[in-house]
Structure 1
Amino acid sequence: MKKFLLIGAMALTAGFSYGQTIIPKAGITLSTFGGDDAGDDTKSKIGFTLGAGLNLPLGDGMFSLQPELNYVQKGAKAEYVDEDFNEDVTEKLTLGYLEIPVLVKVTFGEATKFYVNAGPSVGFGLGGKYKVEVGDESEDVDVKFGDGDDEDKYYIEKGTDIGLQLGAGVIVAEKVMIDIRYGLGLTDLYDDVSMKNNVFQFTVGIPLSIGGK
């Protein structure tokens, strides 16, 4: 345990020795559900994301560690025909998460830099909206995470969303970062249902140096 803490402290010290970058960023998400119970009618929906990352170089090489704190919209929609009433039905579920990824990043290039990154993430459900449209009629209710019996709420049992993130991007002239990332959900939304969050994120950020050499 002491050796692990010492190695971690050395890596963090190395990062601070060579300067850090904070990266505020914003963009759009394209999310859907994966898993055996997601259903053939499930389609992707558009949302947004907003947050920031802290890039910590590990020495003076290509590798760095990048923890982030982001608000991310996930969820999905379904479109089908109600055969009993011959009406088009659209259901849309929007889920908001406070998400913390910790990414290992490999950067290469000179004036224009390219990178790939990967790492685990954990998200904490904040709430959301469930909206259903039947013909010309529509109704929406609030989403709550956990168990409940309020008929005016839509409940998602699991409030913690553990996943794996894989991505790549480009940094232009140290001024603008364009990031494309895929988040693969590893935990189900319900105890007895195979349904997980999957989300693409397209973000633009502004790297801001905050110290070091």
Structure 2
Amino acid sequence: MKKIVGFLMVALLALMALPAKAQLKFGIKGGVNISSVHFNSDVLKADNVTGFQVGPMIETTLPLVGVGIDAAVLYSQKGMETDEMSGIKTSMKTDYIDIPVNLKWKFGLPIVKAYLAAGPYIGFRVGGDKIWDVLGDQIEAKSFSAGLNFGAGVELISHLQVGINYGLGLTDNYSAKKIDLEGKNRGWSITAAILF
């Protein structure tokens, strides 16, 4: 965890140290999350649940090279849907403030560019369900999360980005004591961003 926080600090310092000729843009990003929780045991199966994400972002890109960094502060809703033995589906959602910092490479024509992005994120639980009663035990959502993002998309006329992203949770975000269960957030997001 210290390595992830250290990498985020280095990435932010690198962002500030980029040359003055770098293109700096601010924007708003939002989208749909299709998330689930991967547990360390087959005792509980989790299905996907739909949430959302929204928040401000900043992006800087070196001209001609097309390499840069983007960062955001996103209100993000994640969770899972479970189907217990009774056949009743239960949807459980947890709200986070996620802070992703991605290395981004853009390539293509000035009007339409494709991009690839990857980097770490950290998240802090700010709301939603804290404790769920499942399988006669209580699953508790933890307050901190961290993981890696992998994404791709297109940018139109330097102001609109549409992309898809996969979030690979690396920390245990959920735990249950009686059945020795731990789970990590995983999921896809489809996003759009407007840059100014």
Identity %: 27
Q: TM-score, normalised by structure 2?
A: 0.80
**Unpaired runs of 5+ in structure 1?**
83-87, 130-142, 145-153, 209-213
Distance 1:179 1:63 in 2: 17
Q: Which moved more, 1:171-180 or 1:154-163?
A: 154-163
- Kept in 2: contact 1:77–1:91 (CA 8 A): yes
Paired position in structure 1 for 2:120: 120
Q: Residue 116 of structure 1: CA displacement? A: 0.4
The CA deviation at 1:39 is: 4.7
Query: CA, structure 1 residues 15+95, in 2 after alignment: closer, same or farther (shift >3 Å)?
Result: farther
2:73 is equivalent to residue 69 of structure 1: yes
Confirm or deny: 8 A CA contact 1:67 1:101 kept in the other structure: yes
User: Following the alignment from structure 1 to structure 2, what is the Cα–Cα distance between the partners of residues 203 and 77?
Assistant: 22
Counting matched residue pairs gives: 178
SS at match of 1:20: strand
Is the Cα–Cα contact under 8 Å of residues 34 and 189 in structure 2 kept in the other structure?
yes
Once the two structures are TM-superposed, the CA of residue 52 in structure 1 deviates from its matched residue by: 2.2
Higher mean C-alpha displacement, 166-175 vs 53-62 = 53-62
Consecutive unaligned residues of structure 2, counting only runs of 5 or more, are 1-8, 132-137
Q: CA deviation at 1:17?
A: 2.4
Aligned to 1:85: none
Within 5 A, what are the aligned runs for 1:1-213? Answer: 12-37=16-41, 39=43, 41-58=45-62, 60-82=64-86, 88-110=87-109, 111-129=111-129, 143=130, 156-190=140-174, 192-208=180-196
**TM superposition shift of 1:59:** 5.9
Once residues 46 and 69 of structure 1 are traced to their aligned partners in structure 2, the CA distance between those partners, rounded to angstroms, is 20
For the 8 Å contact 2:82–2:90, the answer to whether it is kept is: yes
Distance in 1, Cα, partners of 2:144 & 2:11? 29
Q: 1-side partners of 2:13 and 2:92: how far apart? A: 42
Give RMSD over aligned pairs.
2.7
User: Aligned partners of 2:30, 2:193: CA distance in 1, in Å?
Assistant: 7
**Any conservation in 2 of the 1:16–1:57 contact (CA below 8 Å)?**
no
> What secondary structure, in the 3-state scheme, does the structure 2 residue paired with 1:206 have?
strand
- C-alpha spacing 1:60/1:160, structure 2 compared with 1 (3 Å): same
Q: What secondary structure, in the 3-state scheme, does the structure 2 residue paired with 1:124 have?
A: strand
Q: Following the alignment from structure 2 to structure 1, what is the Cα–Cα distance between the partners of residues 92 and 82? A: 9
TM-score under structure 1 normalisation?
0.74
Structure 1 equivalent of residue 5 of structure 2: none
Which residue matches 1:148?
none
| In structure 1, distance between residues paired with 2:150 and 2:165 | 6
Deviation at 1:158, TM superposition (A): 2.0
| Pair 1:65–1:80, CA change in 2 (3 A) | same
CA contact (8 A) 1:11 1:58 kept: no
